[in-house]
Structure 1
Amino acid sequence: MIRIGVILLLLAPATGWAESCVTNSSDHSHLFAVSPSQGDRLMQTLAPGERLCSPTRNGAILSVFENADAFEGCSRLVGPDQSDRLMAYAEFDRCHWASHDR
């Protein structure tokens, strides 16, 4: 899927596709998801410093869960070609995202 995302980014000006990404800037591995407004949700456990991206037209929901068994997590809504970084995980939508510091 990452290769498709790169191809779509090259075509972005003509087709309207962009990319939304989430980066794990915390000290622990967590399960992340990028849910574009159109297309399939991508999920992957990311170690500290790793990144997950998805092509999108109208933005995406970026989510993080403590692990694959967790029911609750944290989510952020981002626009097309926008990304965010998880700084610290906390349960019940109390995560610290880099966008909080802007």
Structure 2
Amino acid sequence: MLMGRAATATSFGSVHTATGEFTAWHELAACRDEDPALFDGGKNTSARAKSICARCPVTAECLSEQLDWERNRLTRHAPIGVFGGKTAGERQAMLLSESRGEGKPRESNGTD
């Protein structure tokens, strides 16, 4: 999770870095230079994708944004792939838990 590290989230899809600059959180993502196919959710790629997410300073922002997309059905396609260290199935379980009144999904970087 990002909080308490070199950057903190803002409400506009940006992060405030330790140097005092604002930047799009995507620019700090550990996956930014990785092959996007690693994150497609395939059986042989999910573990590698999750290992990249585990070292990412903006995992919470990534997961939160994807959960918002899925929660609000802002995508025309079925949710797939790894975002914020979570597979589509893990995110769906989080959203199902939320819809059952168990509260907002806990956004974790997958290390706990």
- TM-score class, shorter-chain normalisation, is under 0.3
Structure number with higher strand proportion: 1
TM-score (normalised: structure 1): 0.25
Which has more helix, going by share of residues? 2
TM-score with structure 2 setting the length? 0.24
